[in-house]
Structure 1
Amino acid sequence: LSSAVETTGQSRAEAQSRAEAAKIEGAAAVDQATLRAQASKIESDAELIRLTQARQLELHYSTSTANLEIEKAKRLADIEISEFKEHVAAIGPKTIQAIATSGPDNQVKLLQALGIKSTLITDGRSPINLFNTAVDLVGTPQRQ
């Protein structure tokens, strides 16, 4: 009987130790899965932050580039306006009026003096195609 009790006790002890080992392994697997999930969430959050910052930088770059292009266009327009004003001031209003009331050849000279490269002027009877209009439309280089 004592060997049966001893065998039963030993079997019971082994079963309890296996159960305890399985319980510990299960808890460790749960903890490991939890930690992996947390690590994955941290990695995903970091990637999201990185992508968000990259998009913000791209947007800032695009906005800055567009603003610079706008500023450049404004400055070029201002330069062109000031050049035109200088040409008009250099020629003088009376000279411009005299040339404008004269024939088409003088009108062409007036427009050339004002720095106008391409213009179509008509009085309703006879159109005058000036300078580089046809060349600009066709796209061939002008020979000089």
Structure 2
Amino acid sequence: MHVIPGELRKDTFEKQLDGSYMFVIELSEFQKDKDDQPIYTNYKAAFFAKSQAAFNHFKKAFVKGNYVVVSCEKLKVEVSDCGQYTKLDMCFPKLQSYKECNAPSQQQQSQQQQQQGGFNQQPQQQGGFAPQQQQGGFAPQQNQNPQF
């Protein structure tokens, strides 16, 4: 088993799917070598929320700047097209814990919810996890600059 602690250095890629909501995170593990030089190892992990509770938990955990601990059984090596960058893809990851490092103030959170529509407002498009008044559900969140 691999246990990877690291900081989320990029925004989370989010996508609404049929029956679930996907969060793709990239994190980096920081170490120092024997000469006290920094070494970064980059990882990527995809998480799927199938309930409102899971969606809320991942949405709170996967914020740029937060520190997370993720475990997985296997790692898959991904090399960029140019061959210069290597990233380890975590197969079947599990979020062990997280620490909020750059939590926005309550006022900023309410402004963000108003701008994004929040959970209780009807989305512009239909399908997927559209919120329902009594049953809950996911409101689609739009990531304007998804990056891997």
TM-score by length of 1: 0.19
Larger of the two Rg values belongs to structure: 1
More helix by share: 1
Higher relative contact order (CA 8 A, sep 6+): 2
* Structure-2-length-normalised TM-score: 0.19
